Chain A
Amino acid sequence: MVSRRFFLKSSGLALVAFGVAPRALVRSVYAAEGSGRRRKTLVVVFQRGAMDGLNVVAPYADPVYRRLRPTIALPAPRGGAREAALDLDGYFGLHPSLEPLVPLWKDGALAAVQAVGSPDPTRSHFDAQDFMESGTPGVKATEDGWINRHLQCASSPEATPFRAVSLTPTLPRSLAGRAPAVAMSSIREFDLRPSAGARVASGFEGMYEGAVKDVLHGTGQETFDAIQFLKKSDPSRYAPAAGAEYPRGRYGDSLKQVAQLIKADVGVEVAFTEIGGWDHHAAEGGVQGQLAQRLRELGLALGAFHRDLGTRMQDVVVVTLTEFGRTVHENGNRGTDHGHASVSLVMGGGVRGGKVHGRWPGLEERNLYEARDLAVTTDFRDLLGELLTRHLGDRDLAKVFPGHAVSASKFPGVMRA
């Protein structure tokens, strides 16, 4: 369960540990340890609360859409005007709050997969999130998450403490399991109390280094390694590249820190972030309203992330997930209730962008799930399976998604093969 300690306390690193090494030396020491290699990264954005995919990538050309959502349907595109859907392909339109993502769509760096979801019928947030994070719909007893099982299967000899990192206060279910993973609410706080001083830090290190027969031994070392490792990227001085501006708030901060970790070459293979507040039973609205507000923050953050990473984006794929979608009908409160399928956005290098992927099930009653919700035509495991295979090179999807027959034929085709 303990990952191999990835660097030795060479003389150079000892200098780093005592904080007296010049920065240039620090870099060369880490580079010499082989951690400076660029690698592929998958960034998972979990939208907790069940996002209404039908108003994010809206089937504006479908008359049923308009009929069932008399007050909240997005108006058909009007030449890019912000008070209407932004046309994607003549049938679907993007919510205008996601306008910062339009250039990415046009450049082919952003795609959507419509009607994604879980085959499990639950409309309970907590069950559906649990199933999506465990990667085993309908099975409650699964103890680890799908990301962790990926890490277990595709073990890496060069794994660093930051191979799997979550910018959340606690380790999310997706990352739980035997493989090491780091959760941090912020890079800045990922440190021993500075007031403790260097001797306390070296005291802790000594105790855990010496506890060789203890399960805590490896974790202790990983922790101190991670702390040291992080010190080479100076969080307080970080300035996003290319004038990228992240929106203020927890979500923008977390994505900014993911960018920072990726650019610092600390070996991030999977990063996890989450953004809540999608449960719009009331005042969801159309062009304006609750959903518009949430999407604005999401769109600005994703746009800034893309800009910030620049060419590094070639090695990065971002995917959004939400536990389920919402009713096709709007309810009596300009909102929607719990439904079934939703939409995922996929952004980054190797993405077949500028396209709405996935089979569109249609909105006629006979095509709806339980006669009320958008049907699932892409199992979320097939979408994630494609990303794991084609982006991260995972060859063991049967272990990542036990009980699900994953095959390339079911992939939505969002990545260039």
Chain B
Amino acid sequence: MTTRFRRATGLLLAAALAAPAGLAAARSRPVASADEDARIVHALSRLTFGPRPGDVEAVREAGLDKWIERQLHPERIPDAGLAPHLASLPTLNLSTAEILRGYDPPPALKKEIQKRRAEMGETATDEDMRKARRELAAQYKDQMAGPPRQVVEDLQQAKLLRAVYSERQLDEVLVDFWMNHFNVFAGKGQDRYLLTAYERDVVRPRAWGRFEDLLRATAQSPAMLFYLDNWLSTDPNANVDDLRRAMAEENGMRPRRGGAGRRRMQPAPASAAKGKRKAGLNENYAREIMELHTLGVDGGYTQKDVTELARCLTGWTIAGLRQSDPRFVFLDAAHDHGDKVVLGHRVKSSGIREGEEMIHVLATHPATARFISYKLARRFVADEPPASLVDRAAATFRKTDGDIREVVRTIVTSPEFSAPEYRQAKVKTPFEFVVSAVRASGAEVRDAGAMAQRLAQMGMPLYQQQPPTGYKDTADAWVSTSGLLARLNFALDLAGGRLRGVNLASRDIPAEQLVPAGLSDTTRRTLASESGLDAARMAGLVLGSPEFQRR
């Protein structure tokens, strides 16, 4: 099939669209392979961020089952083509310490900004303030590697570029799934500097491993500890001075007494003020780890379980948050040393062991097997996945001790997965829409910034989902007037070559390349009646069609 090399004119395109119902891509092939091609298109639409020109042919060549097996082992897929696309993003490979040194404004700058803000008084507008901040920041330019926003912008770019270019597509889909499952909001304080390591060192390396390992790694990540406040949670009866002293020791500092070297050793004044915390339990993380990360909201836990689990997790905190190198520590002085009962388990007082024990209990709980399987099936199959499939995936989860690869394999190789009624059954999220449109058009992405901006307009700003629920994976969240309008305009801009940083090789893009699953009769008729339009507008219409909003 050489359609992607064909120089289709607008007229040719219209002719193809006007052809009778059936898969456009399969028209010239023997009937026997039509269903095989449909299965290939379906698999590509679920296990990748959308087919690129030539993908259907490549999978047909390799054999669908073999291709799926390969995607289940991303480490075996060469992906050298990706690196050059990420090379210009300066913060991706930095440690958190390096990021903080280079991009978190130095305390003196923060102070000056505050001072300037006070001086400017009530006549200043937001714009004036932004300008002032830029001017002040310029004076500190040699002390900073770049502006704070660079860190999240790099993450956004990388996420988009990986989704467009990586050959390890299922890996990207799964990392996206886990990043959303274990959502962390970049807009919450220091989290903007912690997310790079969170994705790279915590989630990505464990995306295909045992669920329990992934769960524990997120529980002990500074990003999650900060996001869901567990770092602040202490035994309510803890002595605040003891806490402060213990934390100072962890940070390798003398307790706050002043003296030589204090300026470098002490946290910045702003953080010192915030550090003036009271002792007290914070239930935020204990609730979310059960409700959102493991058991699910109907997983059978009570408010009492939340409180008791929070007690187990007291002392799981962050050392060096603002000075040097944020890292997980267990602070014994903050820990509640009483015995606890969580979900019917007696937890004997044993310091850090209590939290680890409970993470094991949660990770291996049958409700967790079911909840994780359900969410994966919802991602890969349908908004309301078939119960038979969820049951089997949950059985695999229990049998394999939460082996994520095996659970995913159960789902994507199941008869339900490729059943015709689930083809095109999912509405794309904005992220899936934007990436799949770029992939389908064969465009070259030099700079994904405009794509990220459009996603924000569509209500899906990357790394900026505030609630810990993450973004929804079901149609109801994404089917809205403003969202659809933004998609149509994105389609027109992309096809018209007006999307900054994205270059189209050709504006003459055959419809079957854009929607290999085929267009409906209505859409085809509508397009045929507009056949006088130029190729770019026609391609824009196809990318904006109801069919292209689905996968």
Binding site for B on A (CB under 8 A): 1, 97, 122, 124, 126-127, 129-130, 140-141, 143, 161, 169-171, 173, 176, 178, 180-185, 190-193, 195-197, 199-200, 202-204, 206-208, 210-211, 214-217, 219-220, 222-223, 226-227, 248-250, 277, 281-283, 285, 288-290, 292-293, 296, 331-334, 337
Contacts and interface: CB of A to CB of B under 8 A. Distances in A.
Contact of A220 (B121, B489, B546): B546
Which of A140, A184, A217 has the largest number of chain B CB atoms within 10 A? A140
A220 B229 CA distance: 41
B509 to A, nearest CB: 16
Contacts of B115: 283
A282 B113 CA distance: 11
B114 A283 contact: yes
A130 B188 CA distance: 13
Given A193-B492, A207-B526, A277-B126, A184 B482 contact: yes
A1 B484 CA distance: 15
Given A200-B533, A283-B117, A214 B484 contact: no
A144 to B, nearest CB: 9
Interface in B111-129: 114-115, 117-118, 121-127
B537 interface: yes
A347 to B, nearest CB: 22
A296 B480 contact: no
B523 A219 contact: no
Interface string B464-500: 0011110010011101111011001100110010000
A200 B537 contact: yes
A211 B122 contact: no
8 contacts: A1-B479, A126-B466, A129-B466, A170-B456, A173-B467, A182-B480, A184-B482, A207-B527
B522 interface: yes
Contacts of B533: 199-200, 203
Interface of B: 114-115, 117-118, 121-127, 185, 187-188, 229, 270, 273, 284, 287-288, 291-292, 297, 427, 456-459, 461, 466-469, 472, 475-477, 479-482, 484-485, 488-489, 492-493, 496, 520, 522-523, 525-527, 529-530, 532-533, 537, 540-541, 544-546, 549
B291 A141 contact: yes
Contacts, number: 170
A97 B476 CA distance: 43
Nearest to B537: A200
Given A190-B485, A196-B492, A223-B481, A141 B297 contact: yes
Contacts of B480: 171, 180-183, 219
Nearest to A200: B537
B117 A207 contact: no
A199 B530 contact: yes
Contacts of A249: 125-127
A192 B492 contact: yes
Q: Kindly list the 8 A-B residue pairs having the minimum CB-CB distance in the complex, ordered from nearest.
A: A210-B522, A283-B118, A206-B526, A170-B459, A293-B122, A211-B546, A223-B481, A183-B482
Contact of A192 (B468, B476, B485): B485
A207 B114 CA distance: 54
Contacts of B485: 190-192, 223, 227
A161 B481 contact: yes
B383 to A, nearest CB: 10
Contact residues of B: prevailing secondary structure = helix
Given A250-B126, A289-B118, A289-B122, 14 more contacts: A129-B466, A140-B467, A140-B468, A143-B472, A170-B459, A183-B480, A195-B492, A196-B540, A197-B537, A200-B530, A207-B522, A207-B523, A219-B484, A249-B126
A203 B125 contact: no
A193 B536 CA distance: 14
B188 A204 contact: no
B273 A331 contact: yes
Contacts of B482: 170-171, 182-184, 190
Contact of A214 (B292, B457, B546): B546
A216 B484 contact: yes
Contact of A217 (B284, B477, B546): B546
B212 to A, nearest CB: 23
Contact of A216 (B229, B427, B466, B468): B427
A288 B124 CA distance: 12
A170 B461 contact: yes
Contacts of A171: 459, 480, 482
Contacts of B489: 192-193
A220 B544 CA distance: 11
B229 A124 contact: yes
Contacts of A285: 118
Contact of B118 (A180, A182, A184, A290): A290
B522 A211 contact: yes
Contacts of A290: 117-118
